Structure 1
């Protein structure tokens, strides 16, 4: 993984030394970057041309560097001996720095593993290349420095991602999805990261490939192409609807207690099987074979994204109905029509699904219909959604799937009406999504019991099983989903 630049290199032997011994063939120093220097120092890799100094300056700098090295060595030795202090220091590091710190010695590796296992909160990223939006500098958190599009995933992961992602859901505008950008540094090049090229610069890749380079090989990436995107800055200060802008947002979900996340994708042959079958023939064995969801596993939420939707309405209805018929509890359904999908290893499927199961997840969803056209009406809908969610869950995310005909065009030129209403009622919940050509889903507002202190966690919603198949494909609507996560049981992630 391309976690750290060339300026931060820690030499280590093939086998680590004893506890507390730095893994190095020489007397190495622990870069101050490991214990949290600022972003500008971390990303400085190349000195400007023409920068040189005289011999006296070089001598002074050498002496200063030696003194700093001695200080850092003493500090590193002290921290290593004090295990509780070491855990405290490492607990403040982003994932990239934490992974680098784990290679210092056995003690640091053990502490880093412990810290990493305790991180189960989702993360999210936002990038915008539109000068009118003024989001880029805030996202990078580095002033007066301009980075290429290809560099942002690399910087964002180093600064804002703390948990190891097990699923990356990316929303990219059509101008970003199809564009290819030039690599600036080898450390962020997807070809170099994948071991395909170690020498040449100047590779061009799609933006989602740079995000892919920052993930573990076992972490699936689903990049959905829309006309615009919805995103939230990592510090929750800004939530925006970026219509027809050069932008993308990424939701990063780690393994979470009590939550099972599964992904599946269906090709043309599998979709045709759904299309031509009836509900009676789509028994539990067939559905398990198609989706990989074990029989008996109750799905709390299904995110479904399809291409060529007008031709696939029967297939969508058959898939949702068959999954629902396997369980007693009503599942939430949300998603929409996508122009294209990237990031998957098995080509470009017709359908892509993400399911959330387990006692550690509670979900509510609502639909803003064509008649909802004022700020007051949107606010009322968000109040209703808020009333049917739980506030005592440890973390939550919001998803917004809107028709391209809504946004500012639907609200007399005013931007961010729907995202602002969501943020008003869910100020600590990030909102991500996209604008597309159609929406999939239905309204599901469960009755919830929100108790602050329960030994086994908050009570989940009591959702009765639906009778009949509701209208599932919509136009000129916005589907809002609130996913809350908590629990104490073991979590898992599988990719089909």
Structure 2
């Protein structure tokens, strides 16, 4: 009996081995349930598995995110620890990553985080974070990180996807964009030395008929010449058929050390190009100061009819808003967005000035055009919805 049982078990194993070594459909089905990092490890099994892994990976085109809040148990920012753990379980290969973290608790030098927490981190410490991110992410991945006074994020835990506003405390998120068919995402970084027509074309900001969305973040905007510099970039964008959203932040990295003087002003951001991309934004001005008024304004995004599949919300608000602006009520604007768009995650920050306007970029028309001054605001919130097609 034991011999027969052993023989039967061996036959089953032999059949299973044959299927796993020869039937691509079965292997591909199995790999669809495996996170990306594990898929790459399994791709080394044999040529069949390598080819199946490549085909499976090409189908993973849905953007995802990792977010974290609360005090970290470790000496580094809570987001970095969340990324180290979360990237093991994501089902995509990041090609572009947008990170936002709070200024108060973020320190570039994670090994000295606790005793440096109360003071602003030094610029040279940023190299430690960049090295850390490079070890976590693919080597050819474009990484853009902005440091802001406050953070708006949607938890990455599937059991609780209600967006939250953090005007204080440790918080951050990373948006992970894979290579997507029909969608081209390019980072850009300009300082007064590098802004030129050729640089704009290279970044996809000029001569690009498929450009649909520009996420734009300025830094050190209070310095002499920064306003004139920003107008050079915003002037042509204001007249274009493009959705512009963003604001002014505390710091960005990595910066282009070969062209930027220490402490110089500049802008960073992402261009999103593709014929199927759609977007819309509304401006909550200073007079919008109650939940009801906020809902009336944000509901205009709902009326546009932007597809809600494969979509993200962006909220760029002034540091003077939040609960301070709504008579002590917390999470007002994020809650209104979630009420109207319960299935769409929301991300953004509280910053030092907002960039954007009421605008629709849908199919073959745009509403509305404005000048560079009409794109810059204070004491407002720019609330945007972007559909990636």
Question: Is the CA contact (8 Å cut-off) linking 2:67 and 2:154 kept in structure 1?
Answer: yes
- Say whether residues 1:227 and 2:149 are aligned partners: yes
Q: Deviations over 1:223-249 (max 9, x none)?
A: 100112111122262321122111111
Q: Structure 1 residues 296, 164: CA separation in 2 closer, same or farther (over 3 Å shift)? A: same
In structure 2, the gaps of 5 or more residues are: 1-10, 113-124
Distance in 1 between the 2:374 and 2:39 partners? 47
1:13 corresponding residue in structure 2: none
- Say whether residues 1:476 and 2:387 are aligned partners: no
Structure whose alpha-carbon radius of gyration is higher:
1
Relative to its length, the structure with more strand (as a share) is: 2
Question: Is the CA contact (8 Å cut-off) linking 1:401 and 1:433 kept in structure 2?
Answer: yes
- RMSD of Structure 2 on Structure 1 (CA): 3.2
Deviation at 1:361, TM superposition (A): 0.6
Q: How many residues align?
A: 357
From 264, 268, 288, the equivalent of 2:192 is: 268
Question: Is the CA contact (8 Å cut-off) linking 2:243 and 2:360 kept in structure 1?
Answer: no
Instruction: Name the TM-score, length of structure 1 as normaliser.
Output: 0.65
Q: Structure 1 residues 371, 206: CA separation in 2 closer, same or farther (over 3 Å shift)? A: farther
Q: Deviations over 1:236-281 (max 9, x none)?
A: 623211221111111111122222222211123235x7xxxxxxxx
- Say whether residues 1:158 and 2:88 are aligned partners: yes
Distance in 1 between the 2:273 and 2:137 partners? 23
2:304 corresponding residue in structure 1: 388
Question: Is the CA contact (8 Å cut-off) linking 2:221 and 2:248 kept in structure 1?
Answer: yes
Distance in 2 between the 1:475 and 1:464 partners? 22
1:338 corresponding residue in structure 2: 249
2:60 corresponding residue in structure 1: 119
Question: Is the CA contact (8 Å cut-off) linking 1:176 and 1:207 kept in structure 2?
Answer: no
Moved over 6 A (4+): 70-74, 145-148
Distance in 1 between the 2:272 and 2:212 partners? 6
In structure 1, the gaps of 5 or more residues are: 1-69, 137-144, 184-202, 274-283, 449-459, 487-496
2:120 corresponding residue in structure 1: none
Question: Is the CA contact (8 Å cut-off) linking 1:287 and 1:322 kept in structure 2?
Answer: no
Q: Structure 1 residues 323, 179: CA separation in 2 closer, same or farther (over 3 Å shift)? A: closer
Q: Structure 1 residues 425, 81: CA separation in 2 closer, same or farther (over 3 Å shift)? A: same
Question: Is the CA contact (8 Å cut-off) linking 1:220 and 1:344 kept in structure 2?
Answer: no
Distance in 2 between the 1:415 and 1:468 partners? 33
1:169 corresponding residue in structure 2: 98
Q: Structure 1 residues 81, 387: CA separation in 2 closer, same or farther (over 3 Å shift)? A: same
Deviation at 1:182, TM superposition (A): 3.8
1:28 corresponding residue in structure 2: none
From 362, 375, 381, the equivalent of 2:291 is: 375
Secondary structure at the aligned position of 1:471 is classed as helix
Instruction: Name the TM-score, length of structure 2 as normaliser.
Output: 0.82
